[in-house]
Structure 1
Amino acid sequence: MVRVKAERLREIGEAIFTALGLSEEAASFLVETLVEASLTGHDSHGIQYYTRYAERIREGYIKVDAQPRVVKETPTTALVDGAWAPGQITARKVTRLAVEKAKQHMVSAVGAYNCNHIGRIGYYTQMASGQGVIAELFVNVGHPIVSAHNGFGPLFGTNPFSLSVPTEGAPPFLVDYATSMVAAGKLSFAASKGARIPTHWARDAEGQETDDPEVLGKGGWLLPFGSYKGYGLQLCCELLGAVLTGSRTGIDPRQEPPSSNGVLMVALNPEAFVGLQPFKEAAGALLDHVKSSPSLPGREVLVPGMPEARVKEERLRLGVEVPETTWRAITGLCGELGVDATLK
């Protein structure tokens, strides 16, 4: 492992993506989302994407000069054509619109299609809750690597879901997870470390249990989490994130661009109900009570958002541990682009 400070990861990332043609502002935001993912322990959606996004830019899948635009709008809704810009830029536009409309009209729903991979989706719901709005995000991934419940073979993407609410104090309440057993990036991260995976995550091409982190490239697939319950939420993300927005579904024979996302954010303004401050206070009191409730011996009761906050505090202090193979790939890319990747 190579330990790298967050600020140095940002500097290197911004230099990479500006060298690839992004504006300084777009590169800065894109890199911020990836470094934040690494800082909060979501390495599967972190700086390992420097090289993957660079490859997609070079292949023409990510359009560095494209700008997402609103193609349909009402006072409380909007539909955004992402124009295959960097997915993070599209997701930011969706979030800004959803928050603005919810603040003005108390409720909103904003979708996007022609959208590249947006990264860790909890970044955007937390962005909204930080502005006093409850936000939930339904996302489909138009690249099938997950089976249906009791199914043989891949049918859907990892289809993540997120919800965040404003609360008193920190960290915020944040739910963010793939509807597969794990995100696909966790397999590639395991492979980069030379590790095996738990056998309940995936099946091989014959439908058998496997601990091979490279199984997805060998005809295997991930399983939905939580049996039929996770499968139900997986379908919700497919119907709302893709079908409703006109995005590519998992059953679509088209597979390019890779890992496209269909996105739908729904936002609620607490002022339409009990009011923002009373909501934050009551939510904070509820979560504090949950955290202080009795736990099993040797265990601790946590609420969503706490593990990420703890990891971030540690990694801000000590730096982010990057697998050797990932760091070599990043420095190799830097060498091609004339970017200084020395650790200062």
Structure 2
Amino acid sequence: MTDGEHTDRVQLLSADALRRTVRDIFAAAGCAGDEAARIADNLVDANLTGHDSHGVVRVPLYVDWLRSGFVLAGQTARVVTDGGSFAVLDGCRGFGQTIAAQAVELGIERALEHGTCVVALRNAGHIGRVGAFAETAIRAGLVSIHFVNVSDSPLVAPFGAVEKRFSTAPFAAGVPLPGQPVVLDFATSLVAEGKVQVASYGGKPLPPDALISDEGELSGDPRVLYGDFGSADLRRASSGTGAIRAFGEHKGSGLALMCELLAGALTGGGGSGPVGPEFRGISNGMLSIYVSPSRLGTQDEFERIGREYLDWVLAARPIDPAVPVLAPGQPEERTREARLATGIPLPTDTWTAICRTAENVGAVPSR
């Protein structure tokens, strides 16, 4: 299909057209041109890698948060503590695509200088696909580890519970092996909340056990999380009574708790709850660790041992000969290549919601 063609439920748009649309929406909504472009690049890149949950489906909600004052345009991360090889930054509720990029830039700069750096970021707007920041560190030759939480956003039930207590609490890590960098990036919930959004707009259905109702019944119906909604309405988890389930039973639940304690408590940004009577909007916390193999003096051994081991892992005989074993990050590479060539598939309801948002701010969608 060509750019803009669609079926009853999905249509394809080029990355360039989608990027222009998102950029123009945020510029019209009050962001400076460079910030609008940064948000557009980050969201469209998520779609290109197949992480539609962190892509342009977020546009209507981001604009709603901006208009409500829950996220602020044009902010710069404020240094709270600076210890050289460690720092605490306050995002001042700026757009995560701006604030997290500043935090990552600082972490990379300091790790290249000192060999390692720990950056504790708090009060950033939604930062999008965390793996993008691990990729940035890889390009600088650094290993990185990222623990993330979302304050005031309980969405996930702990193992054995039916009530929301955790955010989706993402975790990411990047390893710069020669020829095949490894990027691990996932939510500690069984599905990211954005995947529930995508499914609610007519995209890929959820697994039938992704959600749990307040009565303990497993479900794949987004209404368990959002309550009733119209096709192009904003999705709000506060309107539903159910929760997303943690992945991996007690193991995923335990990792989610660690993300909340490290990214929420240690950074000083706050946990996913309990939510106070006056909702101020969600914010991300992120604890990032950067390590330079060259400054550790292990660069040669690291690359040799790491690549030999990775190759051995990938050479394992697959269950299905037509489906090879892949390293974390390889599916994203393949999806990016395919979507750049054929277009990004969007559920029709997602595109309708984006077009409605564009109309509301006075922007014109590109096709």
TM-score scaled by structure 2?
0.89
Residue in structure 1 matched with residue 329 of structure 2 by the alignment:
305
Residue 169 of structure 2 corresponds to residue 146 of structure 1: no
**Worse-superposed segment, 158-167 or 289-298:** 289-298
Tell me the SS of whatever aligns to 1:336. Answer: helix
Report the Cα offset of residue 94 of structure 1. 1.2
Tell me the SS of whatever aligns to 1:248. Answer: coil
**Worse-superposed segment, 18-27 or 276-285:** 276-285
Q: Deviations over 1:62-90 (max 9, x none)?
A: 11132221121011111111011101111
Residue in structure 1 matched with residue 111 of structure 2 by the alignment:
102
Corresponding letter in the other structure for 1:294: R
- Residue pair 1:163, 1:176 contacting (<8 A) in 2 also: yes
Report the Cα offset of residue 270 of structure 1. 0.6
Residue in structure 2 matched with residue 339 of structure 1 by the alignment:
363
Report the Cα offset of residue 54 of structure 1. 0.8
Identical columns (%): 34
What is the number of residues matched between the two proteins? 342
Report the Cα offset of residue 234 of structure 1. 0.7
Residue in structure 1 matched with residue 296 of structure 2 by the alignment:
273
**Worse-superposed segment, 90-99 or 271-280:** 271-280
Tell me the SS of whatever aligns to 1:288. Answer: helix
Corresponding letter in the other structure for 1:102: A
C-alpha spacing 1:4/1:297, structure 2 compared with 1 (3 Å): closer
Q: Deviations over 1:119-147 (max 9, x none)?
A: 11111111111110100100011211111
Report the Cα offset of residue 195 of structure 1. 5.9
Quick one: distance in 2 between partners of 1:58 and 1:23?
15
Listed as ranges, the matches of 1:181-330 within 5 Å are: 181-193=190-202, 196-217=205-226, 218-254=240-276, 256-298=279-321, 299-330=323-354
Listed as ranges, the matches of 1:78-117 within 5 Å are: 78-117=87-126
- Residue pair 1:188, 1:214 contacting (<8 A) in 2 also: no
Report the Cα offset of residue 2 of structure 1. 1.5
Quick one: distance in 2 between partners of 1:251 and 1:46?
25
Quick one: distance in 1 between partners of 2:263 and 2:201?
30
Tell me the SS of whatever aligns to 1:78. Answer: strand
Tell me the SS of whatever aligns to 2:345. Answer: strand
- Residue pair 1:161, 1:179 contacting (<8 A) in 2 also: yes
Q: Deviations over 1:5-48 (max 9, x none)?
A: 00111111111111111111111111111011000000010011
Report the Cα offset of residue 214 of structure 1. 2.2
Listed as ranges, the matches of 1:29-44 within 5 Å are: 29-44=38-53
Report the Cα offset of residue 109 of structure 1. 0.5
Quick one: distance in 2 between partners of 1:253 and 1:338?
33
Corresponding letter in the other structure for 1:244: L
- Residue pair 1:136, 1:164 contacting (<8 A) in 2 also: yes
Residue in structure 2 matched with residue 160 of structure 1 by the alignment:
170
C-alpha spacing 1:342/1:106, structure 2 compared with 1 (3 Å): closer
In the alignment, which of 153, 171, 179 is matched to residue 169 of structure 1? 179
- The CA RMSD measured in Å over matched residues stands at 1.6
In the alignment, which of 170, 173, 178 is matched to residue 187 of structure 2? 178
Report the Cα offset of residue 196 of structure 1. 4.3
Residue in structure 2 matched with residue 124 of structure 1 by the alignment:
133
Quick one: distance in 2 between partners of 1:106 and 1:71?
22
Corresponding letter in the other structure for 2:330: M
- Residue pair 1:195, 1:213 contacting (<8 A) in 2 also: no
Report the Cα offset of residue 197 of structure 1. 2.3
**Worse-superposed segment, 287-296 or 45-54:** 287-296
- Residue pair 2:19, 2:44 contacting (<8 A) in 1 also: yes
- Residue pair 1:86, 1:116 contacting (<8 A) in 2 also: yes
Q: Deviations over 1:280-326 (max 9, x none)?
A: 34323322222222112344211100111111100000010111011
In the alignment, which of 5, 12, 26 is matched to residue 3 of structure 1? 12
Report the Cα offset of residue 278 of structure 1. 4.4
- Residue pair 2:115, 2:296 contacting (<8 A) in 1 also: no
Corresponding letter in the other structure for 2:16: E
**Worse-superposed segment, 234-243 or 257-266:** 257-266
- Residue pair 1:160, 1:179 contacting (<8 A) in 2 also: yes
- Please list every run of 5 or more consecutive structure 2 residues that lacks an aligned counterpart in the other structure: 1-9, 227-239
Corresponding letter in the other structure for 1:213: P
- Residue pair 1:196, 1:213 contacting (<8 A) in 2 also: no
- Residue pair 2:143, 2:290 contacting (<8 A) in 1 also: yes
- Please list every run of 5 or more consecutive structure 1 residues that lacks an aligned counterpart in the other structure: none
Quick one: distance in 2 between partners of 1:245 and 1:194?
35
In the alignment, which of 78, 86, 108 is matched to residue 77 of structure 1? 86
**Worse-superposed segment, 35-44 or 18-27:** 18-27
- Residue pair 1:113, 1:262 contacting (<8 A) in 2 also: yes
